[in-house]
Amino acid sequence: MDVKSILEAVKNGTLSPAQAEEKLKTLPYDNMGFARVDNHRKLRTGFAEVIFCQGKTPEQAAAIAADLAKNGSNVLATRTAKEHFDAIKRLLPSAVYNTAARTVSLEQSPPQKIGSVAVCTAGTADIPVAEEAAVTAEAFGCEVTRIFDVGVAGIHRLFDKIELIRQANVVVAVAGMEGALASVIGGLVERPVIAVPTSIGYGSSFGGLSALLTMLNSCSAGIGVVNIDNGFGAGYLAGQINRLLFDKGGK
């Protein structure tokens, strides 16, 4: 599958130049007409493809899920409506729905254990986004500690949990409204912090813009920010950091 072995095969005459050219072109994805399922992604980026269901019909989501599953991969679908779950379940009866996180998952083999993540929220209303992050990180083998409702309006709640947070390899800080949680955590822990602004709030929160700007402008360093409500992206990045640690022999 790599360039060198194809070229060797050409040299050995096992492969004609035309065949080789074809092989170089035919990359390992399944073309489903409306989508090109990337079975190759796991090799390329360390994780299998996750199905982002917003904007996809239930039928499209289910077809992609089945395509991924037939290769034995675990399947994770995010931003699923109930209709997506129903369609997936028809094709993959063992699929499981997580209402809070709005994810559908199918675990065909347990993921490799790769490290720990603390997922914190400022408030109760941020929990769905945090759950999406947690479920995603778990799907990639992270052990997740959930620490919810520790926002800065009552900062003693955060301090009570700070040692627990410090034990994680990576911290995901999920907050809407003014989003100050990420800054405060960033000043208190020595590990990478992934900040997730949420659209929780009203008025001049402008759909999460307020929390997003807060996190980007944090006076604490060591914070990487993802899109508003992007729990999946935070969980995935946390997984990637833990994967790095795992691959390099850390524990």
Which residues in 110-129 contact its own copies (CB under 8 A)? 122-125, 127
**One of 46, 66, 83, 98 touching its own copies (CB under 8 A):** 46
58 binds its own copies (CB under 8 A): no
- Tell me the C-alpha distance between 163 and 167, whole Å: 7
Stretch that binds its own copies, among 68-76, 89-97, 102-110, 240-248 (CB under 8 A): 240-248
68 binds its own copies (CB under 8 A): no
Least distance (Å) from its own copies to the CB of residue 148?
A: 6
In terms of phi and psi (left: phi > 0; alpha: psi -120 to 50; beta: otherwise), the region of 149 is left
62 binds its own copies (CB under 8 A): no
Number of shown-chain residues binding its own copies (CB under 8 A): 111
Give, as one character, the DSSP assignment of residue 110: P
164 binds its own copies (CB under 8 A): no
- Yes or no: say if 119 and 144 are a contact pair by the CB < 8 Å rule: yes
**One of 48, 50, 76, 144 touching its own copies (CB under 8 A):** 50
3-state helix, strand, coil in the chain (%, to 5): 45, 20, 40
Among residues 107 and 178, whose Cβ is nearest to its own copies? 178
Least distance (Å) from its own copies to the CB of residue 88?
A: 15
The CB-side HSE value for 77 (13 A sphere, CA atoms) comes to: 34
The bridge status of strand 75-78 relative to strand 51-52 is: parallel
Name the token pair of 139: 């799907």
10 binds its own copies (CB under 8 A): yes
